[in-house]
């Protein structure tokens, strides 16, 4: 993987990250199916800071490497070349998305209290939007968690589920429905809530096939949880608008990290194809294996291209970039799974054993088609945007040659 178009400082960070992941992180990976131990993570994070690769997406004034979003992909792909790399470099979900949003919309006091320790890796965080049915899930408008105004603050009550990273987190960003109050509209509001608050309770675990995200995906209960006015993140009633600030880039950084793991999977398959001999030659000389390899290269390169385009859009026009991130999320989540699955096939029995990490990689990337919104929901939104865009173009008088004008018989 080469990125000759990168500015010199970004190219240097990319090279440092690539070297650090391959020379330090990979040797410390837990066995397939195990989780990264806290002591090991802390040791590796200290080494990442010493190597100048820690928190690549965080502004320098908060202890990061200061990359702008259009240059995140090469570095995050290298972090993702190891399933524990993003945690070690402190650019893993949900913390990475929370850091990005805090930097953009938090007050200075909120940044000092939450962003600074989060960026330093001293604490972890989580983001509480998803709820049990019939609450918010694929449809955020179904939000049922409520916050009501009280003297000097708010009382939050609600039940969240699948709250990634909640176990051991220092704080949670809670999305709750709020009434019209003090001139603010009725809608959703984000609140910064300490996990040690007596009104917060981590509930039953949800056991999933992935292991890369620290803190699991448990239920979370907010019961008569009081937070002061200073806990409001952004403005009251505008939570859904702020959510897009987080969700667009967060979808894309999932693509970046998992694409790095797809590259690792293809490398494993290429090594096997080169050394495995059968039918009088190497596996890689057989047409069927070459087909699988070529399709994987195509999936990786098209994913890389759409990530690059979306990152540039998010930098220049966040609204357009957020819409494009849905397309990137769908394409990459499906393409990355195909790459890993083909690698398993090329490696045969070893591919589905714990002798290679590929089976665990499948478990890591499969949920991506559900996390950050199921692909089917994104496809529904993509289709609606395409239809709306075409209707607007037709109303503005646009026609393509040979098309009949709607409502008029005969040719154009």
Q: Would you state the pLDDT for residue 348?
A: 95
* Model confidence, pTM: 0.93
Tell me the per-residue pLDDT of 264-300, one tens digit each, with 9 for 90 and over: 999 999 999 998 888 878 888 788 899 999 999 999 9
- What local confidence, expressed as pLDDT, does residue 408 receive? 46
DSSP character string of 26-88: GGGPPPTTPPPPHHHHHHHHHHHHHHT-SSTTS-GGGTS----GGGHHHHHHHHHTSTTHHHH
C-alpha to C-alpha distance for 68 and 74, rounded to whole angstroms: 12
Assess whether pLDDT exceeds 90 at residue 69.
yes
Tell me how far apart the alpha carbons of residues 313 and 239 are, in angstroms, rounded to a whole number: 22
- For residues 46-69, give the mean pLDDT: 97
| Mean pLDDT of the region 225-236 | 97
Distance in angstroms (rounded) separating the CA atoms of residues 272 and 350: 10
pLDDT tens digits, 309-344: 999 999 999 989 999 999 999 999 999 999 999 999
Q: What is the pLDDT of residue 3?
A: 61
The count of other CB atoms within 10 Å of the CB of residue 263 is 21
Average pLDDT value for residue range 64-85: 97
Q: What is the pLDDT of residue 4?
A: 62
Give the pLDDT band (50/70/90) at residue 358.
very high
Q: How far is CA 404 from the centre of its chain?
A: 44
Model confidence pLDDT, tens digit, residues 89-144: 999 999 999 999 999 999 999 999 999 999 999 999 999 999 999 999 888 899 99
Cα four-point dihedral sign 59, 65, 70, 72: negative
Please name the residue ranges forming H helices in 352-412.
358-365, 375-395
Domains identified in the chain and CATH numbers: 8-119 (1.10.540.10), 125-238 (2.40.110.10), 241-395 (1.20.140.10)
Which uninterrupted H or E stretch holds 290? Answer: helix 287-316
**pLDDT tens by residue, 389-399:** 999 999 988 87
What does the DSSP 8-state code read for residue 181?
B
> Which pLDDT belongs to residue 265?
98
Instruction: Note the pLDDT of residue 276.
Output: 86
């Amino acid at each position: 993987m080469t990125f000759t178009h990168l500015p010199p400082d970004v190219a240097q960070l990319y090279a440092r990250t690539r070297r650090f992941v391959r020379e330090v992180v990979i040797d410390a990976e837990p066995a397939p199916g195990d989780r990264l131990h806290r002591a090991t993570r802390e040791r590796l994070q200290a080494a990442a800071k010493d190597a100048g690769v820690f928190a690549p997406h965080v502004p320098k004034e908060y202890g990061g490497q200061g990359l702008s979003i259009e240059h995140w992909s090469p570095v995050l792909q290298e972090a993702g070349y190891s399933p524990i790399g993003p945690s070690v470099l402190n650019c893993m979900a949900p913390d990475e998305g929370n850091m990005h949003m805090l930097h953009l919309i938090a007050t200075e006091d909120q940044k000092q209290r939450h962003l600074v320790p989060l960026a330093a890796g001293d604490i972890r965080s989580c983001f509480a939007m998803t709820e049990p049915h019939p609450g918010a899930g694929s449809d955020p408008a179904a939000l049922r968690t409520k916050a009501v105004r009280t003297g000097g603050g708010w009382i939050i009550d609600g039940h969240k589920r699948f709250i990634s990273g909640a176990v051991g987190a220092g704080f949670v960003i809670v999305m709750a429905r709020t009434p019209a109050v003090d001139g603010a509209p009725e809608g959703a509001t984000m609140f910064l809530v300490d996990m040690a608050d007596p009104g917060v309770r981590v509930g039953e675990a949800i056991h999933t096939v992935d292991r890369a995200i620290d803190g699991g995906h448990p239920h979370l209960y907010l019961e008569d949880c009081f937070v002061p006015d200073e806990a409001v993140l952004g403005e009251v009633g505008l939570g859904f608008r702020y959510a897009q600030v987080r969700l667009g880039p967060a979808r894309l950084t999932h693509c970046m990290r998992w694409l790095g793991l797809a590259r690792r999977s293809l490398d494993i398959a290429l090594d096997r194809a080169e050394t495995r001999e059968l039918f009088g030659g190497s596996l890689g000389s057989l047409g069927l294996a070459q087909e699988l390899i070529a399709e994987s290269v195509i999936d990786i390169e098209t994913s890389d291209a759409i990530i690059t385009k979306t990152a540039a859009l998010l930098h220049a026009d966040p609204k357009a970039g957020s819409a494009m991130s849905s397309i990137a999320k769908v394409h990459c989540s499906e393409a990355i799974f195909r790459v890993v699955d083909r690698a398993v096939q090329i490696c045969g029995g070893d591919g589905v054993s714990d002798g290679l990490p590929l089976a665990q990689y499948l478990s890591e990337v499969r949920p991506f088609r559900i996390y950050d919104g199921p692909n089917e929901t994104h496809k529904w939104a993509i289709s609606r945007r395409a239809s709306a865009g075409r209707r607007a173009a037709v109303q503005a008088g646009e026609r393509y040659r040979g098309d009949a004008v709607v409502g008029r018989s005969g040719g154009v």
